[in-house]
Amino acid sequence: MMQKYTGKSVYGGIAIGKALIFHKKEGQVRRKRIEDVETEILRVDKAREKAKEELQKLYDKAVTQVGEQNAMIFEVHQIMLEDQDYVDSITYKIKNEQINAEYAVASTGDNFAELFSSMDDDYMKERAADVKDISNRLIKILQGKTDSSLMTDEPYILVADDLAPSETLQLDKTKVLAFVTRKGSTNSHTAILARMMNIPALIGVDFDENCDGKDAIVDGYEGIFITEPTEQITNSMNEKQQENLYKKKLQQELKGKESITKDGKKIDIFANIGGVSDVASVLQNDSGGIGLFRSEFLYLGRDTFPSEDEQFQAYKTVLENMAGKKVIIRTLDIGADKQADYFELDKEENPAMGYRAIRICLNQPDIFRTQLRAIYRASIYGNVAIMYPMIISVDEVKKIKEIVQSVKDELTKQGIPFNNVEQGIMIETPAAVMISDLLAKEVDFFSIGTNDLTQYTLAIDRQNPKLDFIYDPHHPAILRMIQMVIENGHKGGCWVGICGELGADLTLIEEFLRMGLDEVSVSPNLVLSVREKVRNTDLRVTNN
C-alpha cells in the first residue's frame, strides 16, 4: 500500500529505486542477567538459522559474480555456525552465567578469535576474522538489526535515522540514489555529501521501518518520499526525471569554456573533495582546480593515525591526476561533527566551538608536522597550496609559519625535494573577518568558509534542525563580512575565494562578482551550473 511522507529537501532531483535502511554499527554489547535460560538458547538457535539463510543468499550471488572459488568464504561461514565447540561455548555461557544471548555470542566470538590468532598455522589465523564476522552477524540478528543495505548490489535509496561523517565512508557511493533521514539539518554532513554526489536528499522524514526493501521514490524538489508508489505516480516521476537529465545534458556543453562574464570578468571555479576517489568527478565536471581538499577524511573511518607515507600517496595521486591544476589542501579539521576515537578527544558541551582543527594541530604539533611533511613531499608532483582552518589570530598564523619553516628545513637537510607552496587561511570566524587586514599581510590567500562563518556570526548551531528556520546565510551581516574580507584581502595582496556552501548559491553569484571575488569552490557536480550562471551575467547591467 502506498505511503507518502514529507520532509525538508536539502538537494533537488528525482530518485526511483528500492528503499534500504542503514543501521548504525552497534557499540559494545551489554551484559544482562536473564532468568529464562531455555528461551535465550532458543533465540541463538533461531539466529543461527537466519544467519545461514543470509549466508546462502550471499554465496549464491557471489557465485554468479566472482565465481565459485571466491564465493567459498560464505560456505565456510555457514560451516562455522555449525561448529559444535562454538555452539557449546555460547550455550554453556548462557546456562552457567545466566547471561543474555547477545553477550554470550560476543564473548565466545572474542575468545575463539583470540585462540585462532595465537596459532602458528596461517590458515587458522585467518579464521579469527571469520569467527568475529559470524559472531557479529548473529548479534545483529539477535538485536533485530540486520543490515539490508549490505545485502544488495543494486542501486538503492538510503534511509537512515541520521548519518555521521565516518559512517558515510562505509557507503559504496556509486550505489546510493538518494538520502532520506529522520534527523539532520540543511547544513549537516549528509546534506553536504548529497550536494557533492548530485543526488536528492530529504531530512526530517518520519518514515516507517517497514519501508525497508520496498519500491520508493524521492522527489527532492517537493520534499516528498513515497513508498510502494502507484504506476501512475511512477510514470509521472519518470518523466520529471528525464526532464532533469535533459537539463544536465545541456550544461555538459559548457565543458571546456571559460568561466567569464559577458563583460569580461573572470572567476576561478574550483571543486571541493573529501578524498582521492572524488577526483574523477572533479575532472568529469571540468573544474579549474580543487579549492578544498578536506584532508580530515583521510583520518576518519580508521583506528589509527594515517602515516606520512599514506598521506603522501593520497596527495601525490590527486596532484598527478589534476595535471598542474591548483589543489588546495586544508589541513586536518577534526573535531565538532568529525570525530575519530583514536584522537581521544574529550567530550565537549559545545564541540563546534571547542578543541578542533588548527587548535589540535598547534597543541599536538607531531600530528601537524606529519601532515605538512607529506604535503611538501607531494608538492613536486603538481600545483599545491595549503590552507589552515579555524584561524582567530595573527599569532596562530605566525606559529604555523614557524612550524612550516622547520618542516622545510628538515626536508632540505634530509635531501628531500619540494616546491614553494602557497599559504592561505580559512576565514570562518568573526574574529578572522575583523582582523583580515592584518592577516592579509601574513598569507597568500583567503578562503571564506561560509558554513562555519554563518553559524558563529548568527550564534546558530548549523547541525540543529530546530534552528533551520532562522539559519540565514543571506543575512546582511554575512554578506557585509564577505565584502570586508575581499576588500582587506586585495589591499594586502591576497586573492580571495569562497569554499563554503554559499559559493554555489546561484542567487548570489552576481553579487560576489561585483564584490570582486576571485574564486569559488563548490561540489564537483555544481561547477557547470555556476559556470553557466557566470557566463550569463553582465556586470554592466545594474539591477534596480
Residue 148 pLDDT exceeds 50: no
Task: Quote the pLDDT of residue 342.
Answer: 60
Question: Which single residue is written with the C-alpha cell 568475529?
Answer: 132
Reduced to 3 DSSP states, what percent helix, strand and coil does the chain have, rounded to the nearest 5? 50, 15, 35
451 is in an annotated binding site: yes
290 plus 201 within the same structural domain: no
Which residues lie closer than 8 Å to 420 by C-beta, 6 or more apart? none
Task: Quote the pLDDT of residue 466.
Answer: 81
- What CATH number does the domain containing 65 carry? 1.10.274.10
CA angle 230, 236, 241 (to 5 degrees): 120
Q: How far apart are CA 308 and CA 416, in angstroms?
A: 14
CA 266 to chain centroid, in Å, comes to 31
Asked whether the beta carbons of 221 and 13 are under 8 A apart, the reply is yes
CA-nearest of 397, 318, 329, 410 to 362 is 397
pLDDT, mean over the chain? 86
Q: Is the dihedral of CA 257, 263, 266, 271 positive or negative?
A: negative
| Longest alpha-carbon distance in the chain | 84
- What CATH number does the domain containing 165 carry? 3.50.30.10
- Identify whether 544 is part of a domain: no
Identify which has the larger pLDDT, 428 or 185. Answer: 428
Identify which has the larger pLDDT, 244 or 351. Answer: 244
> Three cell numbers at 47?
539466529
- Identify whether 333 is part of a domain: yes
- Identify whether 187 is part of a domain: yes
462 is in an annotated binding site: yes
- Identify whether 313 is part of a domain: yes
Residue 398 pLDDT exceeds 90: yes
Which residues constitute the domain of residue 317?
253-535
Which range of 13-17, 92-96, 385-389 scores highest in mean pLDDT? It is 385-389
141 plus 155 within the same structural domain: no
* Structural domains of the chain, count: 3
Residue 464 pLDDT exceeds 70: yes
Name which of 12-26, 87-101, 160-174, 496-510 the model is least confident about: 160-174
Identify which has the larger pLDDT, 302 or 399. Answer: 399
Residue 468 pLDDT exceeds 90: no
Mean pLDDT of 490-505: 93
452 is in an annotated binding site: yes
Mean pLDDT of 60-82: 73
Mean pLDDT of 283-307: 87
350 plus 491 within the same structural domain: yes
201 plus 261 within the same structural domain: no
> Three cell numbers at 457?
556570526
Q: Is the dihedral of CA 281, 284, 285, 289 positive or negative?
A: positive
Q: How far apart are CA 343 and CA 305, in angstroms?
A: 8
308 plus 268 within the same structural domain: yes
pLDDT in tens, 250-291: 667 888 889 999 999 999 999 999 888 788 888 888 899 999
Q: How far apart are CA 283 and CA 344, in angstroms?
A: 37
386 plus 420 within the same structural domain: yes
Identify which has the larger pLDDT, 296 or 193. Answer: 296
pLDDT in tens, 322-380: 989 999 999 988 765 555 566 666 676 666 677 778 888 888 899 999 999 999 999 99
Task: Quote the pLDDT of residue 113.
Answer: 83
- Identify whether 29 is part of a domain: no
Q: What does the DSSP assignment read for 321-366?
A: HHTTSEEEEEP---BTTB--GGG-PPP-SSGGGSS-THHHHHHSHH
Q: How far apart are CA 499 and CA 144, in angstroms?
A: 42
135 plus 218 within the same structural domain: no
Last residue of a domain, one of 98, 124, 146: 146
Name which of 164-168, 322-326, 411-415 the model is least confident about: 164-168
Name which of 66-75, 185-194, 223-232 the model is least confident about: 66-75
- Identify whether 180 is part of a domain: yes
263 is in an annotated binding site: no
- Identify whether 542 is part of a domain: no
Residue 413 phi/psi, 5-degree rounding, is -60, -35
129 plus 203 within the same structural domain: no
Q: How far apart are CA 282 and CA 367, in angstroms?
A: 28
211 plus 80 within the same structural domain: no
Question: Which single residue is written with the C-alpha cell 553579487?
Answer: 511
- Residues annotated as catalytic are 189, 499
59 plus 17 within the same structural domain: no
- Identify whether 540 is part of a domain: no
Q: Where residue 471 falls among pLDDT bands split at 50, 70, 90?
A: confident
Question: Which single residue is written with the C-alpha cell 542567487?
Answer: 507
Task: Tell me whether strands 326-330 and 383-388 are parallel, antiparallel or unpaired.
Answer: parallel
Task: Tell me whether strands 14-21 and 156-160 are parallel, antiparallel or unpaired.
Answer: parallel
Asked whether the beta carbons of 497 and 291 are under 8 A apart, the reply is yes
Q: What does the DSSP assignment read for 375-438?
A: HHHHGGGSEEEEEESS---HHHHHHHHHHHHHHHHHHHHTT------EEEEEE-SHHHHHTHHH
- What CATH number does the domain containing 331 carry? 3.20.20.60
Q: How far apart are CA 154 and CA 493, in angstroms?
A: 52
Give SS3 for 111. helix
| Sequence letter at residue 521 | S
Q: Where residue 487 falls among pLDDT bands split at 50, 70, 90?
A: very high
Last residue of a domain, one of 196, 226, 249: 249
> Three cell numbers at 156?
538503492
Q: How many residues does the structure list for the chain? A: 544
CA-nearest of 433, 428, 409 to 489 is 433
Q: How far apart are CA 260 and CA 372, in angstroms?
A: 34
Identify which has the larger pLDDT, 25 or 224. Answer: 224
Which residues lie closer than 8 Å to 71 by C-beta, 6 or more apart? 59, 62, 63
R_g of the chain computed on alpha carbons: 26
Task: Quote the pLDDT of residue 149.
Answer: 43
Q: Where residue 83 falls among pLDDT bands split at 50, 70, 90?
A: confident
Residue 202 pLDDT exceeds 60: yes
Task: Quote the pLDDT of residue 207.
Answer: 92
60 plus 131 within the same structural domain: yes
132 plus 262 within the same structural domain: no
Q: How far apart are CA 537 and CA 544, in angstroms?
A: 15
Q: Where residue 385 falls among pLDDT bands split at 50, 70, 90?
A: very high
Identify which has the larger pLDDT, 521 or 148. Answer: 521
60 is in an annotated binding site: no
Task: Tell me whether strands 224-227 and 215-219 are parallel, antiparallel or unpaired.
Answer: antiparallel
Residue 47 pLDDT exceeds 80: yes
Task: Quote the pLDDT of residue 345.
Answer: 65
Last residue of a domain, one of 146, 177, 210: 146
How many Cβ atoms sit within 10 Å of the Cβ of residue 28?
Answer: 7
543 is in an annotated binding site: no
> Three cell numbers at 425?
587561511
Per cent of the chain over pLDDT 70 is: 87
Model confidence, pTM: 0.62
